Structure 1
Amino acid sequence: MLKTATQSRGSSLSPPLLLTSLAGVLQEWLPQQRWFAGKGLPVTDLAVVSMTELHPGCLHLLISSGHAGSRDDCYQLLLGVSEELPSRLHHAVIGRPSEGPLAGLTVYDALHDPRSAALLLERLRTPGTAGPLRFEGDARTVVPSGLTPRILDGEQSNTSLVYGDSYILKLFRRVQYGVNPDLEVPWALAREGCARVPAPVAWFWTNEPRRTTLGVLQPFLPGATDGWTLALQSLAAGRDFTDESYELGRATAEVHLALAQVFAPGPADRHGGRLLAAAMTTRLDTTARQVPALVPYVSRLRAAYDAVAARGLGRPPQRIHGDLHLGQVLRAGQRWFVIDFEGEPARPIAERRRPQAPVRDIAGMLRSFDYAAHARRPWQPQWAQRCRDAYCAGYAAEAVWDPRGQSELLRAYETDRAVYEALYEARHRPDWLPVPMAAIARLAEGR
């Protein structure tokens, strides 16, 4: 059993004093985490926004962090504090403070500790409070106790725990004030009867300093495989993926139709096309200054945006997924499910909740087919095109309108996505830059 220290030193764990112990170790540990936003920037201005002792030896913290040239970000941490740490948790060590109330103790990421993860589920099973934390749930669902936790590998912007292959808890690492769309949207869709989205069964939030969603518990789909993995398996085996793509298009349309029923549509705006085109043009010009490979295509890519400015948005804007791609869908048996409605975590929540053209989601999925086709050598553009056509056909069969009929808007959104990808790859994965650049060349020709 862990020997904990917060029982004996609890009276000294005030936020300012706690920071004297944690500042040094967090400044080294935070930039190494995949979900940390300020990659390559020094961590400055650490502050404890909220602190709650969930159980002896385990602290729930919201930490504010600044980094040079950036606004402050807020991160959610679950920290364990121990005098002795078993070898099975050595990989979770954050550091050993040399000063302050935790001097000489080991601080670690408690989400890797089965005991702390299990106790967190117990909090979620029973509505109630712990300091500023509020635990709530769907009264129609009884979550059993004693489910064994395990942490999922591979997630980038958040951390997820699976309990007994029955439920999955997503903890938002980089948090923003307000109701997170990944709680708001699935909860609303569940009440609408949309079976394409796993319904939340419990969640927790804080009201300090303002209401903020911290985590959501949903049913886990055992045996389900994400769309990206399935696409790569299809490519590796030389199999077609058109049937799956067609059904995925139908699933996307079902979700869009349900969203249009649940959430009020955006106002009709005859200037919407011009505003969207202006924003896309600004992103293109800014990115071209950072990615020289884009420069030869800029004038021709602007033509895609000019067409949107002239023709408008077409269909009324509505709530959408906001970051749809093959990694955001799961296939269990013969059925597709759509997950992760958080949107782009780097964008403000108010922006992510804003009604937008559903074609944006479709463009994101089309780009994802393109990425999958490039992930296996040799590149198979015909495979991607067959998937793209099947996906749009499936969408049209369910939605009764074909996204290919909005070719100017679809091209603009796909161009905007490819420009974003070019910047990301140039910064983080230069070897992948040819993938969005191939799309840039195609889109610049108007295809």
Structure 2
Amino acid sequence: MLDELLVAWIGRQRWFGGKGRPIDELSIDADVELTPGLRHLIIAVWQEGSRERYQLLLGERTDLPDRLKHALIGTIDDVHLYDAVHDPDRTGWLLDGMAHDETRSGLRMRHVPGAEIDASPRSLVLGAEQSNTSLVYGDAYICKLFRRLIPGVNPELEVVTALAARNAHHIAQPYGWIETDLDGTDTTLAIMQEYLSNANDGWDLALTSVRDLYALPPDVSATDAGGDFTAESERLGTATAQVHRELAAAFPTGLIEPHEVKRMAEGFRRRLGRAVAEVPELREYVSTVEDAYHQVELLTHEVPVQRVHGDYHLGQVMRTPMDWVVLDFEGEPGQPLAERKALSSPLRDVAGMLRSFDYAARHLLVGNSRADELEPRAQEWADRNRAAFLDGYAEGGGVITRADAALLRAFELSKAVYEVVYEARNRPSWIGIPLSAFRPRTV
């Protein structure tokens, strides 16, 4: 009967990846009692012949308070079953288990060597996430539960623990994690890190700057705007280069030969062809993109590769009172784990951030009656912050040679091609933002 309740409930959850498709079968692969009134479930969901697995903290109460009714899954024999991540009376188990390195029926709770965990703070669920669920404990910790389970060690756990061991400055310090065996492989269920309670989201800071600029009289340039963001963009570039240096020191590095670079460009070109077939608006820019890819095919030198962030943008960085901190080293959502851990050029991250500056500049133009009037200001803001970021990246030790510039441009346009397809599918009114990437520019 529980599986029937879960079928009706799971399809409505924002973190469920199979929304809009019928569930053919649901089974409970693991069911572990953690404490009285709290169970840990691993759920297998079959849709159209493929299986995905999810984790659930299942709470049990005979009397469900009003504050938890939104988390109700169903009732069996007068026992209310609910998603216990929303219950601070139950989630203290996560802290306590990691603090004491507990093991329960295959669930292994561990703390980072040398880390001390205070198990007393109560939790609060953050509501903005799509694919995971994060619990904030006081102003000390944030615990991210990976709802969809993929066998293997999560890249974020792997990266932040390696960088913390090197005393890297631009990460949120890790405290602990929870793991189990899935398909015979150590699999990360959760990771707990330092909660940056006094930090500001990079995307929000950038949008504030853009909003301030748009509110100024037409004769005031971005240079003179009170909310100018370029100093922060430069600091962010420096922090990015330093993170790349730390990643190169903590993990293996390599070189790819020119013929492998050509294969990479061919992959870009194939994705472009599929995108043009789906989004006709791209067709007029094909020659511009093809030319950028061709410049990569002409490269005759080896290209350094290393571990990178893989999904780098303004929403993945936080500004603390001291400096920028980089978050979410999971890689690009939806990609296989091996691909997210694969070595790549650090220019891929640089390109991702450059695209993010363009998005920040034009985000507020969507549906704006003054969009045509404000477009030059958007371009000015984006160009200035892109240039500042690249200056900071060079100051931090990041190297972008003349030959590298061709590869960076190709990475950026490939990202923009992906964005065009995404917006066409999900937010058609936004498609003008990535399309602007294909126009001539100075940075």
2:394 to 393, 396, 421: 396
Q: Is the 8 A contact 1:392 1:404 kept in 2?
A: no
Provide the residue aligned with 1:99 in structure 2: none
How far does the alpha carbon of each residue in 1:33-86 deviate from its partner, in whole angstroms, 9 at most, with x for none? 332222322223323232212122222122222333x74222121122333311
Q: In the alignment, is residue 59 of structure 1 matched against residue 39 of structure 2?
A: yes
Shift of 1:389: 0.3
Cα distance in 2, alignment partners of residues 384 and 158 from structure 1: 31
Q: Report which stretch shifted further, 423-432 or 305-314.
A: 305-314
Shift of 1:436: 1.2
How far does the alpha carbon of each residue in 1:306-359 deviate from its partner, in whole angstroms, 9 at most, with x for none? 222231675311110010100100101141011110112311111111100000
Shift of 1:170: 0.8
Give secondary structure in 1 for the equivalent of 2:34.
strand
- Label 1:235 to 1:264 Cα distance change in 2 as closer, same or farther (>3 A): same
Structure 2 residues without counterparts, runs of 5 or longer: 214-226, 366-373
1:338-353 paired onto structure 2 within 5 Å: 338-353=326-341
Q: In the alignment, is residue 442 of structure 1 matched against residue 439 of structure 2?
A: yes
Calculate the aligned-residue CA RMSD, in Å: 2.1
Count the aligned residue pairs: 419
Q: In the alignment, is residue 225 of structure 1 matched against residue 200 of structure 2?
A: yes
Cα distance in 1, alignment partners of residues 29 and 289 from structure 2: 44
Shift of 1:363: 0.5
Cα distance in 1, alignment partners of residues 301 and 188 from structure 2: 32
- Label 1:108 to 1:330 Cα distance change in 2 as closer, same or farther (>3 A): same
- Label 1:52 to 1:403 Cα distance change in 2 as closer, same or farther (>3 A): farther
Q: In the alignment, is residue 266 of structure 1 matched against residue 254 of structure 2?
A: yes
Provide the residue aligned with 1:14 in structure 2: none
Cα distance in 1, alignment partners of residues 300 and 72 from structure 2: 53
1:178 to 147, 152, 171: 152
| Sequence identity (%) | 44
Q: Is the 8 A contact 1:133 1:204 kept in 2?
A: yes
Give secondary structure in 2 for the equivalent of 1:42.
coil
Cα distance in 2, alignment partners of residues 43 and 259 from structure 1: 41
Q: What TM-score do you get using the length of structure 1 for normalisation? A: 0.88
Q: Is the 8 A contact 1:392 1:403 kept in 2?
A: no
Q: Is the 8 A contact 1:50 1:208 kept in 2?
A: no
Provide the residue aligned with 2:14 in structure 1: 34
Matching residue's letter, 1:432: W
- Label 1:87 to 1:246 Cα distance change in 2 as closer, same or farther (>3 A): same
- Label 1:291 to 1:39 Cα distance change in 2 as closer, same or farther (>3 A): farther
- Label 1:33 to 1:275 Cα distance change in 2 as closer, same or farther (>3 A): farther
Shift of 1:267: 4.2
Q: In the alignment, is residue 196 of structure 1 matched against residue 170 of structure 2?
A: yes
Q: In the alignment, is residue 248 of structure 1 matched against residue 229 of structure 2?
A: no
How far does the alpha carbon of each residue in 1:93-139 deviate from its partner, in whole angstroms, 9 at most, with x for none? 2344xxxxx46643321101111211222112110201110011123
Shift of 1:368: 0.6
1:93-242 paired onto structure 2 within 5 Å: 93-96=72-75, 102=76, 105-209=79-183, 210-238=185-213, 239-242=227-230
- Label 1:404 to 1:215 Cα distance change in 2 as closer, same or farther (>3 A): farther
Matching residue's letter, 1:121: L
How far does the alpha carbon of each residue in 1:280-305 deviate from its partner, in whole angstroms, 9 at most, with x for none? 22222222232232233334322222
Matching residue's letter, 1:83: T
1:374 to 346, 362, 370: 362
Shift of 1:425: 1.6
Q: Is the 8 A contact 1:314 1:406 kept in 2?
A: no
1:46 to 19, 23, 26: 26
Matching residue's letter, 1:386: R
Cα distance in 1, alignment partners of residues 293 and 301 from structure 2: 11
Matching residue's letter, 2:386: R
2:64 to 85, 101, 115: 85
Provide the residue aligned with 1:72 in structure 2: 51
